[in-house]
Chains A and B, each alone.
Chain A
Amino acid sequence: MFIQQKTKKDMIEKKLVERLRNKEQAAWKEFYEFYSSHLTYVCMRYIKGQEDVRDILQNSFIKIYHSINKFEYKGAGSLKAWITRLLINESLKFLRDTATLESSVSSDELPSIEDEIEEPLFDDIPESEILDMIRSLPDGYRMVFNLYVFEKKSHREIGVLLAIGESSSASQFHRAKKILMQKIKTYNTLRINAL
C-alpha cells in the first residue's frame, strides 16, 4: 500500500513538472499553492524583514520559472528539494549583498553564557515561536545555524558557501546554540511565571 502510494505521488509530481515545463499557467498556480507556504517558512528562517521575504520569494519563483527546464526530475521530493535549494541560495545572496559591518557580533559583545548542561525543553513551545527565536539570532549565526541544522550541511560546506573558515562556522554554530538555549529558557521561565 505504502509503496503504491509513493509511486502515485511520484507520478503526480512528475506530471506536474512536465506541465510546468510547458509553462502552463494553471500548473504554475498549482505549484505555487502547493509549495509557497513551505518556501515562505524557509525564507523566513533566513530573512528577517517582511518586505525582503516577499522580494526574495518573488525572485525565487521567477527564477524557478525560467530554469525549470534545467531541472532533472529524480523522484518524489526532488522538486521540493530543488526549489528549496534555489530559495536558500537567493536568500544567502541577499544576506551577503546587504550585510553591514554591524551584522556580525564580536565575541566581546556577547553576554557570557555559562555552559548549560541541561537540555532545553521546547516540546510545548509553538513552532512559530521557535521560528521567531531563530529569526532573532544575529545574521551570521542564524545563517550557520540554519544551514547546519535544517539543511544538514557540514561545517566545511558551510565554510565554502559563506566564504568563512570551517572552524569559524563551528564556533558560530556553537554560539548560536547558546543564544537559542537561553531564549528557550527565558521563554519557559516567563511562561511559568505567567501561569
Chain B
Amino acid sequence: MNDKWINDLEQKMKGHTEVGPEGLWEDLEQKLFAQEKGKVIPLYADTVEQINKAKLVNRRNWVKRLLAIAACIIAVTTIGIQFLKQEGELLPNINVIKEGERKNIVDSKEHIEETKELQGDEKAIVSNYTQELKDNDLNKPKGIGTNENKVDRAVVESLNIGQELVLNPIINTDKIEELSIALIQDKHTDVLKEGQIKEKLVTQIEPQKRKGLSLGLLSSNMTSNSSQAQTGYASMNGAVRFDSKNPNIEIANTALAEIYTANLDKEVNTKINHKQPLRFGLSVSYALGDKWGLNSGITYTKLSSDLNSGSLDNKIMMNQTLHYIGIPVQVNYNIWQKGNFSAYVNGGALVEKAISGTLTTKYKIGDKIKEEPKENINTKSIQASVNMSVGMEYKLGKGVGLFVEPGVRYYFDDNSSISTIYKEKPFNFNAQIGLRYSIPTKK
C-alpha cells in the first residue's frame, strides 16, 4: 500500500490548531497563582480525582477478570497427544553369575567378588536393601535357570546406583533367612516395543495479551508403554524384603520357594511393563508484554507399573502405583505472529514428588494364587524434569485457538530405589495438540 498519502496527511495537519477549552486559563490561574489568604488550593485535586476514577475502573475490571477466570477453571480441561520415542535396542542378556557347576556352594563373599568381575560394563539400578546370605549350609544343588548359565547362589549386596548388580536367589527350603534380589536394570535389556498413540483434545487457557492472568486445566497421557524383559528373577525396586521386619515374610518365603522349585527346569525371565503416565493439572499463566509469558501451576501424575517374574505358570506378579504431585514452571516466548497464526517457544522445569504409592505382590504357583497384603511405598526423593517445546497456534475466533506443540522432556534421576518409566525413558519426545482459550485483557 502506498503510504505517500500518509505523509501528505501529516503535512496537511501540521500547524493545525483548535480552540482551547473555555475558561481553562482562569482555572489554571486559580490553581497555580491563587494567593487568597488562608485558602489552600490543592494543586493536584483534579489529577487525584482522575486517578481515583481510574482506580475504580481498574478494580471493577479486575473483579470481572477474576470471575471470568474462576468460571473458566470449572469449564475447561486439556488432554494431550504425545508420542514417545522408543529406545528399543535389543541387548544381550544380562550376564548372571557364572558359576560353572550347579553344585558348588561357596561363601557369599567370594561370590560377590566374582560377580563384580563379571559384570563389567553393565549398569544397574539397585535397591538400598542389603542382605547377606548367611546360610552356609547350602548343600543342595539349586539353581535357577538362565539362558546361559546355571547359578547357584544368591548374591547379596546392595549397591548404589551405577555399581554392579546381581543375582539370583538360592533356594533353600529349609532355611531362608535373608535373601535379597536386586533389580538389574540396564539400558541394554530387551525392550519390548509397544507404542500406542491415542488422540485426544487439548484445551488450555493461556495468556495472549499483555498483563493477563489466565488459567488452564490440563491432562496429558504419554502414550506408550515402556517394557523391559530380562532373564532371571528380579523385582521392581530392588530387594524383596525378607528380613524379620517384613510381616509378609512367611507368605513370601514359602511362595517363593515353591515358585523356584517349580521353575527349576524352566526358563525364567522378568518382564516389567511401565504403563503410560496419566497427568492432570491446573496451570496459571501471566503474560509480561506481548512476547514473554510465565506459566506455573500444579500437576498430578499417576505412574503404574507391572512386573512378572518367573515362568508362565509360576511367577511373582507385582503392581506398583505411584501418585506424584508436581509444580511446573515454564517460560513462554512468542516468536512470531501474523494474522491468525502465531508461533512460540516454551521451556521450563517440573518438580514432582511421589506423595503416595502402593505395591501389591501376588504369587502364582500353577493354579494357585497367593496374595500379599498391600504395601505402602514411601519415598522422599524429588523428581525433576526439564522440557523444551515449540508451538504453533491458529486462532479460530472468539478467543479459541488450535495449537500443536512438539517438544522434548528429560527426567532427571531422582536417586531413589523405585523403578519407574521416568527412569527407563528419561528422555522422551512428545507432541501435544489441542484447543486453547485465552481470556482477553484490556489493551
Q: List A residues at the B interface (Cβ < 8 Å).
A: 25, 28-29, 32-33, 36-41, 44, 50, 53-55, 57-59, 61-62, 65-66, 94, 97-101, 103-104, 107-108, 115-116, 119-120, 122-123, 127-128, 130-131, 139-140, 149-150, 159, 162-165, 167-168, 174, 177
Contacts and interface: CB of A to CB of B under 8 A. Distances in A.
B63 interface: no
Given A40-B17, A54-B21, A122-B12, A167 B338 contact: yes
Nearest to B210: A163
A165 B337 contact: yes
A127 B6 contact: no
Interface string B1-37: 1111110111011001111110011011101110000
A40 B50 contact: no
B21 A40 contact: yes
Interface of B: 1-6, 8-10, 12-13, 16-21, 24-25, 27-29, 31-33, 43-44, 46-47, 50-51, 53-54, 57-58, 61, 64, 210-211, 289-291, 334, 336-338, 340, 397-398, 440-443
Closest A-B pairs by Cβ, 4 of them: A165-B290, A97-B54, A37-B17, A36-B20
Given A55-B50, A99-B442, A168-B337, A41 B16 contact: yes
A57 B289 contact: no
B28 to A, nearest CB: 5
The SS class assigned to the A binding surface is: helix
Given A53-B21, A131-B16, A62 B28 contact: yes
A130 B27 CA distance: 30
B17 A41 contact: yes
B398 A108 contact: yes
Given A99-B442, A149-B9, A164-B290, A94 B18 contact: no
Contacts of A164: 210, 289-290, 443
Contacts of B46: 55, 58-59
B67 to A, nearest CB: 13
A163 B209 CA distance: 10
B442 A130 contact: no
Which of B9, B54, B337, B441 has the most chain A CB atoms inside 10 A of its CB?
B9
Contact of B1 (A32, A36, A167, A177): A177
A61 B28 contact: yes
A37 B20 contact: yes
A149 B10 contact: yes
Contact of B24 (A54, A66, A116, A127): A54
A145 to B, nearest CB: 9
A97 B58 contact: yes
B191 to A, nearest CB: 46
Contacts of B61: 100-101
A10 to B, nearest CB: 19
Given A40-B17, A130-B9, A163-B211, A98 B54 contact: yes
Nearest to B47: A59
29 contacts: A25-B29, A28-B33, A32-B25, A36-B20, A40-B17, A41-B18, A55-B46, A55-B50, A58-B24, A58-B27, A59-B50, A62-B44, A65-B32, A97-B54, A100-B61, A100-B442, A101-B440, A120-B5, A122-B5, A122-B8, A123-B12, A127-B12, A130-B13, A162-B443, A163-B289, A164-B210, A165-B334, A168-B290, A174-B1
A74 B44 CA distance: 29
A25 B32 CA distance: 9
B19 A37 contact: yes
A102 to B, nearest CB: 9
Contact of A29 (B25, B31, B210, B338): B25
B47 A62 contact: yes
A44 B18 CA distance: 9
A52 B44 CA distance: 16
Nearest to B31: A62
Given A28-B32, A99-B443, A130-B13, A57 B21 contact: yes
Nearest to A145: B6
Contacts of A131: 13, 16, 18
A164 B337 CA distance: 12
Contacts of A159: 290
Contacts of A165: 289-291, 334, 337
A130 B12 contact: yes
Contacts of B57: 97-98, 100
A55 B52 CA distance: 14
Contacts of B54: 94, 97-98
A26 B6 CA distance: 40
A65 B31 CA distance: 11
B32 A62 contact: yes
A187 B406 CA distance: 51
Contacts of A116: 1
A169 B53 CA distance: 28
A62 B43 contact: yes
A106 to B, nearest CB: 8
A136 B27 CA distance: 29
A159 B292 CA distance: 13
B286 to A, nearest CB: 14
Contacts of A50: 21
Nearest to A28: B32
Given A98-B57, A99-B442, A140-B443, A40 B18 contact: yes
Nearest to B57: A98
A29 B30 CA distance: 12
Nearest to B13: A127
Contact of A119 (B2, B51, B441): B2
Contacts of A100: 57, 61, 442
B442 A103 contact: yes
Contacts of B50: 55, 59, 94
